[in-house]
Structure 1
C-alpha cells in the first residue's frame, strides 16, 4: 500500500523543523513535503490585512501541493486562514488551517475563551475562527482577545527576551479571566514552557501539536 503524503505550507522556515518533529512523533509512515514563502506574512503586515492578491497566492500554493501528490494539506500560518478555507473549496483533497483543531478543542473545554497574539493580522482571524467554530458546535462563548503590542517588534529587532517577557505577563493576566487560552501564533508556545506551574491557571493551547494529533486521526 502506498504511504499517504502530507503537504505542509508555511510562511516561515522556522516552522519546518517544528512540524517535522511533530510529524515524526505522531505520523510515522506518512510522507511529508514543505512549501515555504516568507513574503506572505510580510506582505500582510505591510498592508494590514489579507488582501485578494495574497489570498490568490495562497490558493496557488495549495493547488501546487495537491499537484505534487499531497493526500492532505496543512497550512501552518493563522494569518492566512481565510485564504486557506477559500482554497479548500477548490481542492480535491482535504485542506486544514492549523488553528481549527485548536479552536475546536477550546470550545469543548470552556465558555470563557481567551485568544492572545502579537500581531493584529493574526489575532483577528483566529478570534473569528473561534466564534465560528463555537457556532458550529452550538455553544455560546465569551471571547477575550488580547494583543501584546510591541512584542512582535521586539522579536523582529532581535530582543527575544523582551518579547517573551511581554507575552508571559499577558498570559498570566489573561489566565485569571478565562477558562482556556489559545496562542494565535506558534512562535509564542516557547513562552508557555518558561511559566511557573502556578501561573498556568488554565489550559494554554498551541496549534502545531493539536493540528498534527488531529491529522494522526485523519490519516490512519
Structure 2
C-alpha cells in the first residue's frame, strides 16, 4: 500500500520549507503537495476582493482532492475559519494548522496573550482560541496585539527587524500572561531568540502532529 497523500494550502511561501521539514520528520511515508496563493492575505483586507477568497480556497482544495489528497491542511490562520465549510463543500477532510496550538493554549492557563503581525491573522486566531476554549468548557482571558511594523519589515526583506520587534513584544506580554500564542508560523524564528517564563506557542509542530493523528485515522 502506498503512503498517504497530504496537501498543504499556503498563503505565503516563507512557511513552505518549515512545513515540509516537519512533514518529512513526522510523516515520512507521506507524499506532500503544496498549493500557494500569495495574494489571499492582502485580498482579505480589500473589500473588493475579500469575497473571492472562499471560492479560491475551495478551488485549491478541489485541486488537491483531484490530485488524490487524503487530507488537506490550511497553514494560514487568516483562512482557518474556512476549513470546515470547505471540507464539507469539496468532500475531503480540511484541517487547520493552528487548532492544536489553540487547544494547547487553553490547557496552559487562564491568561492567553495572542501576538500577530497582521490584523487579518490576529482576529481569526483569537476567535479560534475562544472556540476551542468553549469546547473545552474553559473561559480564559484573551488579549491580542498586532505588532506594529513587523510585517512591513519582513515583507521588505528585513527579517532582523521583524524578529527584534516580535521578540520585544513576546517579552513584554509574557509578564502578564500564562501563555503566549504566536498567530503566524512565520513568527516562530523570533521566539527562539528570547527567553521568558511562560510557554510561547507556535502552530507548526502541534499542527503537523495532529495531522499525523488524522492521517492515521483516515488511512488505517
TM-score by length of 1: 0.93
Aligned length: 216
Does residue 170 of structure 1 match 2:169? yes
Query: Structure 2, unaligned stretches of length 5 or more?
Result: none
Q: Tell me if the contact between 2:14 and 2:186 (Cα under 8 Å) persists in the aligned partners.
A: no
User: Aligned runs of 1:180-219 on 2, under 5 Å?
Assistant: 180-195=179-194, 199-219=195-215
- Root-mean-square deviation (Å): 1.6
Q: Tell me if the contact between 1:88 and 1:95 (Cα under 8 Å) persists in the aligned partners.
A: yes
Separation in structure 2 between the aligned mates of residue 102 and residue 110 of structure 1, nearest angstrom: 13
Other-structure match for 2:32: 32
> Aligned to 1:214, what secondary structure does the other structure show?
helix
> Aligned to 2:145, what secondary structure does the other structure show?
strand
Other-structure match for 2:94: 95
Query: Structure 1, unaligned stretches of length 5 or more?
Result: none
TM-superposed deviation, 1:107:
0.9
Other-structure match for 1:152: 151
Separation in structure 2 between the aligned mates of residue 176 and residue 49 of structure 1, nearest angstrom: 40
Separation in structure 1 between the aligned mates of residue 162 and residue 114 of structure 2, nearest angstrom: 17
Separation in structure 1 between the aligned mates of residue 49 and residue 105 of structure 2, nearest angstrom: 25
User: Aligned runs of 1:63-142 on 2, under 5 Å?
Assistant: 63-142=62-141
TM-score by length of 2: 0.93
Q: Tell me if the contact between 1:78 and 1:99 (Cα under 8 Å) persists in the aligned partners.
A: yes
